């Protein structure tokens, strides 16, 4: 088994580590990805001094991000969002409301969230009021109230299909009556 290389990360790398951490990676990953993109350098004594500097920077940045996230949480907490979805006469929804739909509701309020920030176990498939947990940066968590309003559609597709069949049957009956009437006239 090949040995792993120790590298100092200069940038955050998803599923590997954060800026300033020393990580052990396979030589191919280091040679083909991390080193050419300048996301890491070899962990040598002089780079370990750089590590201390990077960790201090990361700690300061982390503290700033946490303060921003807490401020954003205070703005989000009292908010009540609403979304209108199509539903039938009985209130059953067509489709569902997912994390991306909820994240899009924040855009008019100049709040940028992604679907990863919305903690939704499964899509919402019913009309009502829901408490949606939101996970912001640095582990700051908050909740928002979401009201799902059903826009009533008068007729469902099945009802429309039944109506079409009934009209077709009525036309056929009317046509049959006319043909019978013509036959009786000719006699």
What is the CATH number for 47? 3.40.5.10
Give me 16's structure tokens. 């590997």
39 pLDDT tier (thresholds 50, 70, 90): very high
| pLDDT in the model for residue 104 | 92
Which residues, at least 6 apart from 46, have a Cβ–Cβ distance to it below 8 Å?
none
Residues 81 and 148 in one domain: yes
Q: Cα angle at 25 between 23 and 31, to 5 degrees?
A: 120
The pLDDT mean for the chain works out to: 85
Is 58 a member of any domain?
yes
Which residues, at least 6 apart from 91, have a Cβ–Cβ distance to it below 8 Å?
126, 127, 150, 152
Q: What is the CA radius of gyration of the chain?
A: 31
Is 160 a member of any domain?
no
Which residues, at least 6 apart from 162, have a Cβ–Cβ distance to it below 8 Å?
none
Residues 83 and 60 in one domain: no
Q: Which contacts of 61-67 are long-range, i.e. CB under 8 A and separated by 24 or more positions?
A: 62/138, 65/137, 65/138, 66/137, 66/138, 66/139, 66/140
| pLDDT in the model for residue 1 | 52
Residue 20 predicted with pLDDT over 90: no
Is 187 a member of any domain?
no
Domain interval for residue 22: 5-65
Residues 84 and 132 in one domain: yes
d(CA 3, CA 163): 73
**Residue 9 and residue 40 in contact, taking contact as beta carbons nearer than 8 Å:** yes
Is 172 a member of any domain?
no
CATH number at residue 143: 3.10.430.100
Task: State pLDDT tens for residues 160-176.
Answer: 677 778 888 888 888 88
Residue 153 predicted with pLDDT over 90: no
Task: State pLDDT tens for residues 65-114.
Answer: 889 888 888 988 898 999 988 887 777 788 889 999 999 999 998 888 88
| pLDDT in the model for residue 7 | 92
Q: How many domains does the chain have?
A: 2
| pLDDT in the model for residue 168 | 82
Is 86 a member of any domain?
yes
Nearest Cα residue to 81 out of 152, 143, 136: 143
Is 70 a member of any domain?
no
Average pLDDT of 45-62?
Answer: 81
């Amino acid at each position: 088994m090949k040995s792993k290389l120790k590298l100092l990360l200069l940038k955050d790398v998803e599923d590997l580590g954060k800026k300033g951490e020393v990580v052990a990676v396979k030589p191919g990953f280091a040679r083909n990805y991390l080193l050419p993109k300048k996301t890491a350098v070899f962990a040598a004594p002089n780079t370990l001094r750089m590590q201390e500097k990077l960790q201090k920077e990361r700690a300061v940045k982390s503290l700033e991000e946490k303060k921003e996230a807490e401020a954003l949480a205070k703005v989000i907490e009292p908010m009540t969002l609403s979304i209108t979805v199509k539903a039938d006469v009985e209130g059953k929804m067509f489709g569902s409301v997912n994390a991306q739909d909820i994240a899009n509701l924040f855009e008019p309020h100049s709040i940028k969230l992604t679907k990863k920030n919305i903690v939704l176990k499964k899509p919402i498939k019913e009309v009502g009021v829901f408490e949606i947990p939101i996970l912001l940066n640095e582990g700051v968590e908050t909740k928002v109230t979401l009201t799902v309003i059903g826009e009533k559609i008068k007729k469902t597709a099945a009802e429309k299909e039944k109506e079409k069949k009934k009209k077709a049957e009525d036309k056929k009956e009317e046509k049959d009556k006319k043909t019978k009437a013509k036959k009786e006239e000719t006699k």
